[in-house]
Amino acid sequence: MGEPSFMTSRVRNSFRKVVRRRERGFTLIEIVIAVSILVVIMTTAYATLTQIIRCKKVLDDSRESKTIVNSILLRMTRELQLAKAGVRLLPDREDLNKINNSNLNLIGEAKLLPNKQNGDRITFVAAQGGQYLPDGSAHAGDVQISYRVEENPEEATNEGRSYYLVREELPYITPAKKAYEQAMIFPITDQLVSLSFRYFDGRTNKWVNSWGGTPNTMKLPKLIEFEVKIRSLNGKIEAFKTAVAIRSVGSDK
């Protein structure tokens, strides 16, 4: 038996409506919903990507600071371990005729910077501690090494400013004028915020903030603790601290 004509007509009309709807495309509501979903997805993806980039910058910034400080700590640790006892320091550049006491083997000066941070200075004689240059040259034998903090002329204000950490090396020769003529001076970093030292007195078993200014702080200390603060490119200040055992023959027992 054939289907009733009215049923066939109804089905045909429904099919035609569906076809016409598909031919017309999406309705405005469907488009709005689709666009809204797309916006949510893109916003979420952008926020996630931004967070990933921000985290990467922070990690890269911290990694760079740690690389700089690790280089400083390793260099200073190695050189302090080479500190030599029983050898008088060369006179200051301003007073070349001065003769230091033979027991004055290390000078540690506590200083305060304009930014209210420590800007200490240390001077000592290191056995075979000369800096090698790219051309292969170096100061042979003992050298006198100083670390000091100097202002960065490009920094306009004291607040939030960074400083140079400067290393000076002199060949341990006389006369002192000749030694200063061969001075090797260069900055280690221009991102320094603070440099501080403490010295462990083997006689009193106490830590002091300076060394070499009194009869009790002659020769070499048992331990030297130093802290370096670096400002990263993003302005974050990170502090790193270590201690070095002074093993030179002639140090306090």
Residue in the structure block whose two tokens are 């960065």 = 152
Residue 159: its pLDDT value, please? 64
pLDDT of residue 101 exceeding 90, the answer is no
Do the domain assignments include residue 123? yes
SS3 87: coil
Averaged pLDDT score across all residues of the chain? 81
**What value, to the nearest 5°, has the Cα angle with vertex 142 and ends 140 and 146?**
110
Letter string b/e over residues 124-158, b meaning 16 or more CB atoms within 10 A of that residue's CB: bbbbebbeeeeeeebbeebbbbbbbbeeeeebeee
Could you give the number of structural domains in the chain? 1
**For residues 168 and 170, what is the distance between their CA atoms, to the nearest angstrom?**
7
Do the domain assignments include residue 44? no
**For residues 209 and 250, what is the distance between their CA atoms, to the nearest angstrom?**
22
Do the domain assignments include residue 11? no
pLDDT of residue 238 exceeding 70, the answer is yes
Summarize pLDDT for 85-99 with one digit per residue, the tens.
888 899 998 888 888
Residue 197: its pLDDT value, please? 98
Instruction: Catalogue the long-range contacts made by 236-243 (C-beta closer than 8 Å, 24 or more residues apart).
Output: 236/61, 236/62, 236/65, 237/193, 238/62, 238/65, 238/66, 238/69, 239/194, 240/66, 240/69, 240/70, 240/73, 242/73, 242/77
| Strand positions, DSSP E, 64-136 | 106-109, 121-126
pLDDT of residue 135 exceeding 80, the answer is no
Residue 253: its pLDDT value, please? 44
Do the domain assignments include residue 16? no
Do the domain assignments include residue 77? yes
Report the pLDDT averaged over residues 200-220.
87
| Nearest of 129, 80, 73 to residue 251 by alpha carbon | 80
| Global confidence as pTM | 0.71
Least confident stretch, 74-78, 190-194, 231-235 = 231-235
Do the domain assignments include residue 36? no
SS3 41: helix
Residue 34: its pLDDT value, please? 83
Residue in the structure block whose two tokens are 């919903």 = 33
Do the domain assignments include residue 165? yes
Expressed as residue numbers, the domain containing 94 is 58-245
